[in-house]
Amino acid sequence: MSESVLEMNGVKKRYPGKGSRGEVHALRGVSLSVGKGEFVALHGPSGCGKSTLLLAAGGLLRPDVGTIAINGQDLYSLNNSNRARFRAANLGFVFQQFHLIPYLDVLGNLMVTEVATGQSANAKKRAEAILEQFGMAARAGHHPSELSVGEQQRLALARAVFANASILFADEPTGNLDRDNATIVLDYMKEFAGNGGVVVMVTHDDRALEHASQKVSLVDGRIKE
């Protein structure tokens, strides 16, 4: 296999019970290794643990047992602020809630890591070129609430490209999109993986599955071989 980017080892996650509902074993020991250039589609029935896996792998939800490393960095050995910094520098997210910042315009959202570190003229030029590449140049001054769902997805992708993210996590990225926009988003993700990145995508969509280079099937908190 090519150089490993994501390494999950024996990951378990339980949620405490509520009311009459007992404890839920969302992940029952997941090990997964994803190499550079892979486009992974994670699928399986509702409730099998897909979102839990994505959140844990994305450094957003600490597992009870097991380790998760990205580019050799054990995510949960970092304290919260260092993990947040690692996420901002290395990870991209295309989630339903997008993680776009409502009070920044499109250019500001794209350059959000740069805004924190002091933006240079070069960075702005690069951001504008990426917006152009994603068909968003005319939207640079708009705010997320003025964008269509497809445009918001594209902006989230563009941000991962701008930040040179090594891995992109996507949760049902084609779920709310029409066929044309779904194709655009899938093509961009494929290109992101093709350029040496990694994509880990949760999806129910057969067309999205076809784009993946590796399909991982999850059943009841375990990977089905």
Residues in contact with ligand ADP by the rule CB under 6 A: 15, 24, 26, 46-52
Give least dist CB 169 to ligand ADP, A: 13
Burial of 198 (0-12, 13-18, 19+ CB in 10 A): buried
Give least dist CB 182 to ligand ADP, A: 20
Pairing assessment for the beta strands 198-202 and 65-70 based on DSSP bridges:
unpaired
Tell me if 215 sits within 8 A of 34, measured CB to CB: no
For 84, the token pair is 């947040």
Greatest Cα pair distance, the chain, in angstroms, is: 58
Residue closer to ligand ADP (CB basis): 184 or 208? 208
Give least dist CB 76 to ligand ADP, A: 18
Give least dist CB 3 to ligand ADP, A: 28
Residue closer to ligand ADP (CB basis): 26 or 127? 26
Residue closer to ligand ADP (CB basis): 96 or 133? 96
DSSP 158-223: HHHHHTT-SEEEEESTTTT--HHHHHHHHHHHHHHHHTT-EEEEE---HHHHHH-SEEEEEETTEE
Residue closer to ligand ADP (CB basis): 108 or 221? 221
